Chain A
Amino acid sequence: MTAEPALLHVRDLNVEFTSPDGTPLRAVRDVSFTLRRGETLAVVGESGSGKSTTALALTRMLPGNGRIAGGEVRLDGAELTSAPEETLRAVRGSRIGMIFQDPMTSLNPVLTIGRQLDEVLRAHAPRKERGEAGEQPHRGDSHPRGTERRRREGGTTRAARRARSVELLSLVGIPEPERRLDDHPHQFSGGQRQRILIALALAGEPDLLVADEPTTALDATVQEQILDLLADLGRTTGVAVLLITHNMGVVARSCERVLVMYGGTVVEEGATRDVLTRPRHPYTAGLLAAVPRLTSPSGTRLTGIPGSPPGLELLGTAGHRGCAFAARCTVAQERCRTEVPVLVAAGAGRVACGPATDGTYTPVALPEAERIERPAPGAVVLSADGIRKTYRRGRRTFTALDDVSLTLRAGETLGIVGESGSGKSTLARVLAHAHPADAGTLRLRGDDVTRPRRRALHDVRREVQMVFQDPYASLNPRLTVGEIIAEPLIAFGLAADRDERERRVAALLGQVGLDPSAADRRPRSFSGGQRQRIGIARALAPQPAVLICDEPVSALDVSVQAQIVNLLTDLQRDLGLALVFIAHDLAVVRQVSHRIAVMHHGRIVETGPADALCESPENPYTRALLSAAPDPAVLVAA
């Protein structure tokens, strides 16, 4: 094994995109790494770090306006960046398999799984023969026996291909593969679909599997299974895995080595255990500290990295100088802003940071979580009793909320956790009166507001505001930020004239940590974290008593997540808000919430004080959720 040269060798890879106005933007600069057979390498980074672009560049699958501007990609010594398209087509699928993020849209819904596997087998088998042995395909030839021969058979007869399909499905852990082969994608769960996609990627018997955020769209319990599967595949079939992720927990769980990317460059590389326990680069250290830990008790502050990840335009070729991370780095020195750091060997790995290399910076151990002073919750503001909500599609009904009861006190945070489809978003919308409840009662300060009249609804809405999940979709792209925040002021008649409105908007922007000049710009010129701040300012505009936050941080990078969560807790302390904090990440929920309610299939299965619930869960489902949460610290320590 050791004598064998690396399977994949990437050197000084550069990728450029052409922006609409014609200037080239460098998304990936001087990325180098190697990957051996059977090895799993994680590429971790936040949005815009160039991790997905790097993966696409391996097989030259970049979108139309992207091109490889330099460097080389060698697969078993064969150079791919300059290879003809024909060669690359042979490489894609049969040498390098790809798995994408969304298992829901990556399978053709009208074809059975069997058909889809069959197609891939048919497409790859003949080409593989040609590529491997350099001989003409022998179709209809006598079939020699043995496993090596069985592979080739895969491309010849329908029965053989079917047998191979069954084999692949059982390899990825689909129960009763023979029967399931004739099922359509909608008959499988999300996790199973991701398994099928992995089977499709394996059908060409690739040497390298590139998995781009394969578990991001999946629930924690399913994510765990998929990661185990990927790790197993490496061991059993000898396929090398390049796993692209933003999640440090995923890295800890499944990969031997990790490559940390920031702003299009590799900032650190090393064995997972080393990087996760002794990060050398300040960014890696910051990223690790930002991952919420299940062990952090309720009422502590999340750690984050100030600022937001750089956009592509910032990294344009000409004006770029110094370390990409310098602007957010707390230990940046003068030279960090002028010299581009070089990736040099450090210990067993590599790091690109001047101060870290010459020893003027040593990362500190994980800081102890800082406690927040928060007043005790006051009187009950909002209560729900026996809420029910069913959706009807044709004749079938789907119960989204089944007898849900909860209370919320002033100044209190109620965390609601659950996986996708558990009804948490429906609950948020029912509480915010965006959808009516079918049964049950909602009380606001003791008054029944389940089905308010129009006038009363207006008053209820003023008291109960909502922060949405997607900071990109929840802001009207046509309005300026000032207009967006002023909307509730106008709707509720809260500002007498234009001047007062502008004053209030400026004050609200200040409250959420944005410059008042932001009012004149449109949402698109803000980053995700900043947009979420705008969403919070809008929700605060009518001075509500209750703020319902539906997954407010799940669309944000982990280093930015802390800023938003801490902003919410600070606002709660200052304004005495009652918060409903909905999320799928138990670790975040524990830190911000006084109490937690766990939802499963539209019901609240367990509820209790945050720390107690996380430390001694009673419901088996809660226990499953807790154990599935990928936590880098726990795993590396184990």
Chain B
Amino acid sequence: MEKVDEAGAARRRLEEIALLADRPLRFMEVCGTHTIAIFRTGIKSLLTSKIELISGPGCPVCITPQKEIDRAIAYSRMENTILATFGDLLRVPGSDSSLYEEKAEGGDIRVVVSPLDAVKFAQDNLEKRVIFFAVGFETTSPAIAFAVREAGRLELNNFFIYSSQRLVPPAIRALLSGKKTKIDGFILPGHVSVIIGSHPYEFIAREFGIPGVITGFDPLDILEGIEMLARQVKERRAGIEIQYRRVVRPEGNALALKVMEEMFLPARASWRGLGEIPESGLFLRAELSGRDAARVFPLELPDPGEPPGCRCGEVLQGVIRPPECALFSRVCTPDQPVGPCMVSSEGTCAAYYKYGRGK
């Protein structure tokens, strides 16, 4: 079997990056999968000390406000209800419980890989209502939109969506407008960009003069993405480039964008750590309000605020690194998480805890 010399290829990229980076640079990745890949592959341990990689608001679980977690928990406690959601959400602490604890105590909470699984639950359990707690960025929205359409086609009146979906480009704009942290370049998300393409990021270069590279998830992809960013900085250019050309096209995926538009409308939404951001959430269109759990079951819940001492907000904006939070690894661990960045396997704090300590 022929073996690709990955270590050799990586070494060459690392040398080139070291030559290009002639001053300290801060690059931000805004995708949890990148955060994990960077740690898992040991890129941080190899990269020139001139380049600092910081993590942005790229983990959907982490940026979901506690109030919305509380609401999902409340839905799971309703009679005759199956709450379906993605596995990462189970351990996120709400104000006094988590979906995981509710499940251990007998709540009918089911983990799905595809939102279509939730439609199947609705089909198989006509006497119950199924609420799909829809969290995620543009990567998952087409599948959720498709599930809504499928539930309509099957005339399932027991299928509801509680939407906490968010959009990436408005968050980047809010981050840059807030000017809380210096960023020299963006490692832009690969999967999200398969759907939306590169055009929605153009403002980053045009309005803020910062380069961005849409990057894949293999270690060599990430190194090439970093090299492309460093080259732009060195040549004093700022553009949105695509490293992940195998799958990303500038115009995105027209079919996916169309089904999203048919089902959802963007509107103002709240992000943990970043606050309210205009046009940054995706919600069901008014004509689909019969499937909108937030409208059909408008529970009144108190606003829990953020857990005391938790600095996830600053972590999500790249203002501090996790070890700078007083709770990190002392009070807040993956087994007993305080903030969401420690809960999600793709959260920045969890990644630092798991892979980064002792360095």
| Chains A and B belong together in one complex | no
Instruction: Point out residues on B near A: beta carbons under 8 Å.
Output: none
Instruction: Point out residues on A near B: beta carbons under 8 Å.
Output: none
